[in-house]
Amino acid sequence: MKKGSPNFQFNFADILFVVITAVAFIVIQTVCNTFIKFNKVIPTLLICTIYVAVALTYAFYRKGRIYRTGVKPPSEVGIVLTESVMNSASPVFVCPEGTEKVVWMNKAAGELSGGQKLVKLSDMFSETENALYKSADKVYVRAVHSSVGSDEKQYDIYTMTDVTEREATEQMLLSKETVVAYVVVDNLEELLNYEQEDYRNASAETDRLLRQWANEAGGILKEYQQEKYIFLFEKKHLEMFSQKGFDILDKIRSIRIGENSIPLTVSIGVSAVGENLLEKEKNARSAIDTALQRGGDQAVVKGDGTLDIYGGKTKMAQKRTKVKARAIANELVSYMTGAENVIIMFHKFADFDAIGSAVGIARLAMFCGVPVNIVTNPNDSGIAKSYEWVANLPDYKGVFVDSAAALDLVNSGTLLVVCDVSNKMQFESPALYDSCNKVVIIDHHRKTADFEKEPVITYIEPAASAASELVCEMLEQILPSECLLPKEADLMLTGILLDTNQFTKNTGTRTFSAALYLRSVGADVGEVQEFFKTDLEEFQRELRFHSNVEIYRTVCAIATATGECDIKDKIPAAKAANRLLTVEGVKASFAIVPIEDEIHISARSSGTINVQLILEELRGGGHFDSAGARLGGVKVSEAEKMLKAAIDKHLDELEIDKIKK
């Protein structure tokens, strides 16, 4: 456009207006010449006046429309803006309002689209994440300007800003974030029982491997206490550690000591989240506690709402000291004496160990002079014998209540003690757990996840044979021997015998020590054996597992209840799993049974396969050689497929060859 040229330009509507008004002028003029015989000047002036009036009206309409829509006719400024948008380095797309169909794009957008004239934004940007649009090699963030256009049609203008460099910088900074980890040698106390020279050599080799591992990541490893380290490294190395499955655990495990070649193991707690180093250190401490509570020989990585676990291949040995039991007992007594009442709860489908440990805690509460109640399911046949054994004792009148009654007993001063379980999904009453401010957890199963609210006391010892064993040790430290009733001792001994399969598995010196204590306060072995007798109907239910057994991966036995299933508890499944371990070549056994609307799986191991890790894949839990899981909304055949997939994940051919040997 030349300098000095008018700003107003004609469009098709303007030309049409001129043509129509000109034709109208000629028609009116002809009519006037035909029908009006007097002076012709007057009608001519009248027609001109009308024409001018219409033209002015149209002009003002156009001007108002321009201001209403914001779309001005091309001008010097308009052309400059158009050229700027066309030649802008930022891709610009114009789409009909509410659509992604491109009707116009500038040069940068054309290059981005590969020369296509009409494309959809979704086709061009196949990947979107956090409001970012990713092409083959660049990352963009878009700005949208709507309501641009005429009254008849509106358009969306998409302006893409290249943030590739910014994103790369952000990712680089994130990868250089400091991660805090704790590393602890698990079996230090056991190592100290061997010759000092063997211990020094093993300790030096462990230290060397850990420092080599830290140096490869360019991190800082400092020993702040004997066999305890803090490890700082950049976050980019965490992904590498995870991909390798924290193979440092395997390297440390290769160190053996003593005549029995006991392997050294370490536990690692890692925190990748936290606004500052203080929060990361706190989360790392929580992660190492989880690793130790799960039995050690594993790495626990705490992320943003996640908990990733690696390792856990070694069965934890029992510690010989009872120092921790004494400290926990004193702390529990302190909380009990300050509570208004104590409520004791265990897991659904309770067994002898659950009720035995609950009765022991109830006796401790009675010793402290605090009102106590035990939450039970009156329809649970698994505890019928146990309930009848103590329910008629004077001290237990009104002690056993159902979940609804227990909720009515909760107040601000209530102390809830959860025995033989730490997973909320398996609690007898999750609502009761949510209602209590102070919670104590006593369990011998491996911890599977963080608690929704931090308990005031957490006593989780996966090395213990049973929860009743842990409670026995606490009572032995605090309770006068004459306070524990013989029938209470019977139930606790029954719990230990159940979880150790009559002292044949997962048994240590502390297990026998607990049994000796119970015998000393009046436990009768003859009476205890009555709990393990099976009636004919239960025996027949157990036989249903034996007629449908599959040997899977040469070392695992999977039994499924056959026929019309009327099994109402998991005890026959647990017994079937125990008996399958007596089959030659079977190292792990699994019994599957439908109970009501759920599928229950009981798992047992001879000590070479960690069944707890396998059933964790099915949201179950337990410990190394005894675990369980409950699945809802699936059929038996589907549960069997899921179980086999979990076994496949944790047992490769190389491990099976080692297990066979």
Q: Are residues 159 and 211 in the same domain?
A: no
Expressed in angstroms, the distance from the first to the final Cα of the chain is 92
Token pair 């038996």 is found at 636
Query: Which domain covers residue 289, as residue numbers?
Result: 177-311
Q: Are residues 263 and 352 in the same domain?
A: no
- The confidence score (pLDDT) of residue 356 equals 94
pLDDT at residue 357 is higher than 80: yes
Q: Are residues 193 and 162 in the same domain?
A: no
- The confidence score (pLDDT) of residue 45 equals 66
Token pair 């064993």 is found at 469
Looking at 530, 557, 581, the residue that finishes a domain is 530
pLDDT single digits (tens) 99-147: 778 788 888 777 776 666 656 776 666 555 555 666 667 777 766 666 6
623 or 442, higher pLDDT? 442
Instruction: Catalogue the long-range contacts made by 307-312 (C-beta closer than 8 Å, 24 or more residues apart).
Output: 307/449, 307/450, 308/242, 309/616, 310/242, 310/245, 310/246, 310/249, 311/245, 311/246, 311/249, 312/446, 312/610, 312/612, 312/613
Q: Which of 207-221, 483-497, 509-523, 535-549 has the lowest mean pLDDT?
A: 535-549
- The confidence score (pLDDT) of residue 3 equals 42
- The confidence score (pLDDT) of residue 366 equals 96
Q: Are residues 370 and 293 in the same domain?
A: no
Asked if 343 contacts 455 with a C-beta cutoff of 8 angstroms, the reply is no
Looking at 504, 530, 556, the residue that finishes a domain is 530
Q: Are residues 388 and 474 in the same domain?
A: yes
Determine, yes or no, domain membership for 321. no
Question: Cα separations (Å) of 573 from 38, 576, 614?
Answer: 120, 5, 17
- What average pLDDT is seen over the chain? 82
Q: Are residues 453 and 355 in the same domain?
A: yes
Q: What is the Cα–Cα distance from 105 to 115, expressed in whole angstroms?
A: 10
Eight-class DSSP state of 619: T
Span 144-159, mean pLDDT? 72
Looking at 500, 515, 530, the residue that finishes a domain is 530
Q: Which of 62-71, 240-249, 256-265, 501-510 has the lowest mean pLDDT?
A: 62-71
Q: Are residues 367 and 504 in the same domain?
A: yes
Determine, yes or no, domain membership for 359. yes
Task: Classify 376 as helix, strand or coil.
Answer: coil
Number of domains the chain contains: 5
Q: pLDDT-derived band of residue 343, with 50, 70 and 90 as boundaries?
A: very high
pLDDT single digits (tens) 158-188: 788 777 778 778 778 778 889 999 999 987 6
pLDDT at residue 88 is higher than 60: yes
Q: Are residues 410 and 387 in the same domain?
A: yes
Q: Are residues 349 and 493 in the same domain?
A: yes
Q: Are residues 434 and 564 in the same domain?
A: no
| CATH at 459 | 3.90.1640.10
Token pair 């990733």 is found at 308
Q: What is the Cα–Cα distance from 132 to 166, expressed in whole angstroms?
A: 12
pTM above 0.85, yes or no: no
pLDDT at residue 15 is higher than 70: no
Q: Are residues 289 and 355 in the same domain?
A: no
| CATH at 99 | 3.30.450.20
- The confidence score (pLDDT) of residue 448 equals 74
Determine, yes or no, domain membership for 525. yes
pLDDT at residue 358 is higher than 90: yes
pLDDT at residue 428 is higher than 70: yes
